[in-house]
Amino acid sequence: MVSYIGVSDIERLVRRVGTAEFMGALAREIEADYQRWPAFEKSVRLASHSAVGVIELMPASDGQLYSFKYVNGHPKNTRDGLLTVTAFGVLADVTTGYPLLVSELTVTTALRTAAMSVLAAHHLARPESATMALIGCGAQAEFQAIAFHSLLGVRDLRIFDVDSLAMAKLERNLGAAAGLGDLRVTRANSTADACRGADIVTTVTADKRNAVILTPDMIEPGMHLNAVGGDCPGKTELHPEILLLPGTHVVVEYEPQSRIEGEIQQMPAGFPVTEFADIVTGKVAGRRSRNDITIFDSVGFALEDYAALRYLHRLIQEDPHGRREIDLVPVLRDPKDLFGGTVGGVRSRMRAAV
């Protein structure tokens, strides 16, 4: 039997642990795995693009456990009452090849994306950062806001979205969330208005196109840019000249993938970047001076989903009363007799007779 986590299960687990605490635990798991970066098999994700979106597979393995995530991105889905992004994943034992866990990853991806954003900001933003501009108030926004408030100390959140209903939704959800009493949320009149004086700017927009959400005139010395929305070929959020500003340090998760899908797809092949693992392991300083402009060019990497699945698997092992299983793999008396132990066996014929 294979452990299973559905949407109702992840809701229960997060409520049990606490949303901010859950993301904090994810950040620690992700950091621990980035610290052993050489142990992982790494590859760019396998993407199948269409005119309306993308479907991707994201594998990772450290030689003991193997994981993959199936994820889509279809921005026009919301017009039909569907999610822009859905995902599920599998964690497996490399020794036997048997799956250990099948899990929803739609909610978990939002949690781990926010956890990764905060983890990067911890290493790249100025330590006293307390003001964040949040550009884009869609499905990821609440997770980002809660993570940066609870785990990094952001107290002043300036939000902007071209859709006023999205801003109202974010305000409503944050107002109802526990533990955010000292978070000040302010609607900005524009992206530039939101960014003015901000320590951190998070962009998390959904359109699959080369957008210019931030321009060089909005960027101030010492800012940390958390560029989350650019995550596929042809989709960016930053004006390319931002990447060329003096004192700018661009950090990516996995360079070969970011060259295809990140903000740096706009730049020539030799454009210098630093992989996040080099910062976590101390090989490279994240912030060299107070006036540095740091950019986390985040596209999401399979190692982060591996860490999330491993964390989820451990959580449910510690919670046997809430554990669910599915018969995804046959259990046979004779492992050499698949037919007789399944469709050709006595039990199968008895079921057919009933």
The reply to whether 15 and 156 lie within a common domain is no
Is 349 domain-assigned? Answer: no
Options 199, 231, 292, 297, the catalytic residue = 231
pLDDT for 348 equals 54
What string of pLDDT tens digits covers the 354 residues of the chain? 999 999 999 999 999 999 999 999 999 999 999 999 999 999 999 999 898 889 999 999 999 999 999 999 898 898 999 998 999 999 999 999 999 999 999 999 999 999 999 999 999 999 999 999 999 999 999 999 999 999 999 999 999 999 999 999 999 999 999 899 999 999 999 999 999 999 999 999 866 556 789 999 999 999 999 999 876 777 889 999 999 999 999 999 999 999 998 999 999 999 999 999 999 999 999 999 999 999 999 999 999 999 999 999 999 988 767 789 999 999 999 999 999 999 998 665 445 554
Residue 346 counted as domain residue: no
Q: What is the pLDDT of residue 211?
A: 75
The verdict on 210 and 155 lying in the same domain is yes
**112 and 30 in contact (C-beta within 8 Å)?**
yes
Q: Which pLDDT belongs to residue 322? A: 76
Boundary (domain end) residue, out of 251, 283, 300: 300
Sign of CA dihedral 79, 81, 83, 86: negative
Q: In what order do the strands lie in the sheet with 87-93?
A: 46-49, 54-61, 65-73, 87-93, 99-104, 2-5, 324-326
- Is 231 catalytic? The answer is yes
Q: Give the integer Cα–Cα distance in Å for 98 and 101.
A: 9
The C-alpha atoms of residue 334 and residue 285 are separated, in whole angstroms, by 56
Residue 10, domain member (yes or no): yes
> pLDDT by residue (tens digit) across 99-152?
999 999 999 999 999 999 999 999 999 999 999 999 999 999 999 999 999 999
Q: Where residue 39 sits, what CATH number does that domain have?
A: 3.30.1780.10
**What single letter denotes the amino acid at residue 117?**
S
Domain-embedded: residue 260: yes
37 and 100, same domain (yes or no): yes
Calpha distance 254→287 (Å, rounded): 19
Q: For residue 188, what are the domain limits? A: 116-300
Q: Is residue 125 a contact partner of residue 287, using CB atoms and an 8 Å limit?
A: yes
Same domain, 163 and 270: yes
pTM of the prediction? Answer: 0.94
Q: Same domain for 163 and 277?
A: yes
Q: DSSP assignment, residue 109?
A: H
> Has residue 353 been placed in a domain?
no
CB 296 within 8 A of CB 117: yes
Distance CA 253, CA 74 (A): 23
Q: Is residue 176 part of a domain?
A: yes
Residue 206 lies in a domain: yes
Pair (200, 128) in one structural domain = yes
Q: Residue 238 CA to chain centroid, in angstroms?
A: 19
| Structure confidence at residue 188 (pLDDT) | 98
Q: Are residues 209 and 95 in the same domain?
A: no
The reply to whether 324 and 275 lie within a common domain is: no
**61 and 140 together in one domain:** no
**317 and 311 in contact (C-beta within 8 Å)?**
no
First to last CA, the chain: 24
Q: Are residues 293 and 310 in the same domain?
A: no
In a domain, 341, yes or no: no
Write down the pLDDT at residue 4: 97
Say if CB 190 and CB 133 are below 8 A apart. Answer: no
For the chain, what is the domain count?
A: 2
Q: What is the pLDDT of residue 212?
A: 86
Backbone phi and psi for residue 61, each to the nearest 5 degrees, phi listed first: -155, 145
Domain containing residue 169: CATH number: 3.40.50.720
Say whether both 170 and 282 belong to one domain: yes
DSSP helix/strand/coil, 112: helix
Which class for 46: exposed (0-12), middle (13-18), buried (19 or more C-beta within 10 A)? Answer: exposed
Are 88 and 137 part of one and the same domain?
no
pLDDT of residue 351: 53
